[in-house]
Structure 1
Amino acid sequence: MPHKYEQVADSIRASIADSLAPHDALASERELMAIHGVSRMTVRKAISVLVDEGRVYNVHGSGTYVGSTDIFSKTPKLTSFTEDMISRGSIPSSRVLDLARVEAPDQVAAALGLTPHSEVTLIRRLRLADNTPIALEEVYLPSTVLDIESLDFGASLYEQLRLAGHDVFRAEQEIEAITLTPDDSRLLEVAENSAALSVTRVSSSRRGQLIEFARTIYRADRYTFQLAVTRDDK
């Protein structure tokens, strides 16, 4: 039997699908508690699940609102693009732009702890959701981790790494605002010089093995990052 917070989350999802539009307000926590006969903690856990899915967002001091269907929100959880899109009810797909064995660029070799001139597998893809371009992704993998012949572009890369014994567990990311080049603008189907978010990620396994260097460029008009932070009272 589903947990109570899952039942509340399912009910809110149904309400969103049936009668609410993007940016409409949800019922208040007190109202949801009364409707479902649950505690405030249960309501908040259900809302947290929906925030992670990008279905709703919180405005401090105001309430909780239905998320826009035009913007994908990414929480700090370590998930693949495929997993992100599926969790939001969209159909992910990819267009391979480049696939090759290459000599690791200096930055990549240093980040992955490889010797200079090591061979890596390069995958460059256009990532789409419901056939709409969302991101450009450039991934470098040590050839000892996952070689070209092993790749299945119809499946999540992270799932393939897991099956190969290299489960992605931790990543360090750097996010910066950039201006798209004319070529990248064309691929992402936006105007030249549009703003974008560039995310550089270095991922490792549970055993601390460095297994991925990735640089992903997201359309700033279709993708956001949500970060939860706390204040140190010291």
Structure 2
Amino acid sequence: MAYNIDKKNTEIPFYIQLKMILKEMIENDYTPGELIPTEIELQKRFEISRITVRDAISELVNEGYLKRKRGKGTIVLPKKIEEPLSKIKSFTDEMKERGFSPSTKSIDILITKAFDDVCKALNVKTGEQVYKISRVRCADNEPIVYFETYMNMNMKIDLDINEYSDSLYEYLKRVKKINIKYAEQRISACSADEKISNKLEIKKGEPVLLLKRKSFDEENKIIEYTKGYYISNRYEYFIKLKGE
């Protein structure tokens, strides 16, 4: 397909025209993970300024279509992931249903002291020991979310990190014989601090979605409390509402 910028059309800025062209190229010509042409190549191909090219790419990066990789170039990202708020699903199942390949980039498990919201969620005293599992989950090898999961010590979970490379809910069901009956969750917006930005490979201060979830078993007992930090331009939640 031939892509051209209409130089005679002064109503639509060139960077917007290029942005629209690049979106078409992403949808029709490229696959997730593939590099798009460099800024210089695009500048020469469309005979426009480097600043115009950079502005178009920056908008697509902000909207979650592209990602800049230092020392490599600009790659195409998988389509934005949607999750309905009405069902409990593990990240693994959620990704598989949408045609993505889920994976875990880093895992850490330790015993730590509980403070603030962790104490309230797990109903433990300040300073009481709890399990903490930290994981970066990916879709098609791209970081999507950083999870921090807390559990009471009476759960007596494994300290082998290999047990948590896949679905946590699957581990609980398979090893601990625990089925998650329901969950309570809250979603808010926040900025990535240094730790979150390093984990998700984004800039410090970038917006992220913070999901706080408490999961309960069939006896209404709290099983785990998770804080998930999602890259905001890669993930969104939706709710289907009914009229009266």
Shorter chain as denominator, the TM-score bin is 0.5 to 0.7
Per-residue CA deviations over 1:42-83 (Å, capped at 9, x if unaligned) read xxxxxxxxxxxxxxxxxxxxxxxxxx9421111121111111
Give runs of aligned pairs for residues 106-185 of structure 1, distance below 5 A: 106-149=116-159, 152-163=163-174, 164-185=176-197
What is the letter of the counterpart of residue 78 of structure 1? I
What 5-or-longer segments of structure 2 have no aligned partner?
A: 1-26, 29-76
What SS does structure 1 have at the residue aligned with 2:181?
Answer: strand
State, as a whole percentage, how many aligned pairs show the same letter: 28
The yes-or-no answer on 1:74 pairing with 2:86 is: no
2:218 corresponds to 1:206: yes
Aligned runs of 1:208-223 on 2, under 5 Å? 208-223=220-235
- Greater C-alpha Rg: 2
Moved runs in structure 1, 4+ residues, more than 4 A? none
RMSD over equivalenced CA pairs, Å:
2.1
Unaligned runs of 5+ in 1: 1-20, 23-67
What pairs up with 1:5-44 in 2 under 5 angstroms? none
Residue 106 to residue 193, structure 1, CA distance change in 2 (3 Å): closer
Contact 2:110–2:159 (Cα < 8 Å) also in 1:
no
Paired with 1:104 and 1:183, the residues of 2 have a C-alpha distance of 19
CA contact (8 A) 2:197 2:203 kept: yes
- 1:222 is displaced (CA, Å) by 0.5
In the aligned structure 1, how far is the partner of 2:158 from the partner of 2:106?
13
Give the aligned residue type for 1:221.
Answer: N
Q: Secondary structure at the match of 2:164?
A: coil
The 3-state SS of whatever aligns with 1:70 is coil
The CA deviation at 1:162 is 1.4
Aligned residue pairs, count: 167
Cα distance in 2 for partners of 1:155, 1:221 equals: 24
1:129 corresponds to which letter in structure 2?
A: A
